[in-house]
Amino acid sequence: MKKALFHWCIVLLLGVTACTAHTHSSPPSPTITPPQPTIALALPPTGTLTPSAVITATLPTPVNFIGGAQIQETPFPPQPMPADVIGGGAVKDGPFVFDLRLFQDPSFGQQPVAASLYSDLNGIGAYLWWVYQGPEATGPVQTYWGTLPHLDQLDQATFASISKGSNGGRTGGVLLPGGPFLPGESNPGDRIHLALKVHTPNGNFGAVLHFTLNQDANGFEPTDISVDVLPSGG
């Protein structure tokens, strides 16, 4: 009887201890997850981007030799006037208008980078052009340019026929007597006559660009420039 009572006392004591330990034990620390920040990207509204501007440019027309194959039907003047014109102008002879001018261009000279830029006047080129304004077509037509009296030695172009608005011409250097291409000699004070002539079944028509040679440190330069109709038989 005493052993049984002792046994139950021990069991009761252990149960009370267990309850006390459970009552006073600290609860586990809660796991705290910090809130994650929200990042918002501000994007531009769709369709509000400004497209790049489109830039266009008009290139200038180059000045060069114009042959017979490039004959055109255009109003006068047929070609852009060269920059830095120093003298000349337009005259009318029969059914033709002629425009003859001298202009400054350092590309022209006695030692050019290309044969087409040769000129006995350093830094000087000549613009020689014609336009037909007759009412009826005519042909065949031959055109000549050069320094008088050597005009017919330089055949500029030949056309089977021309009509109103047809035109042609040349932009190039100036040849002087006594240079590598023409006989004779040139001296300061000489009057030079640069001509353009058109030969047609109805006769010859043309114009002359006159200028006087002046001597400077770089050679000859043109002065006293004028334009006139080509004399008959020129």
Residue 153 neighbours by CB under 8 Å, 6+ apart: 146
- What is the secondary structure of 162-201 as a DSSP string? B-TTEEEEEEE----TTSSSSSS---TT-EEEEEEEEEET
Global pTM reads 0.66
Question: Under a CB-based contact definition with an 8 Å cutoff, are residues 75 and 165 in contact?
Answer: yes
Top CATH class of 68-229 equals mainly beta
Distances (CA, A) of 82 to 64, 122, 223: 10, 16, 18
Q: 227 phi and psi, to 5 degrees?
A: -130, 140
- pLDDT tens for residues 114-165? 998 999 999 999 999 999 999 999 999 999 999 999 886 555 688 999 999 9
Token pair of 158 as six digits: 């030949």
Cis peptide bond prior to 135, omega within 30° of 0: no
**Which positions of the chain have pLDDT values less than 70?**
1-79, 152-156, 233-234
Give CA–CA dist 69/62, Å, rounded. 17
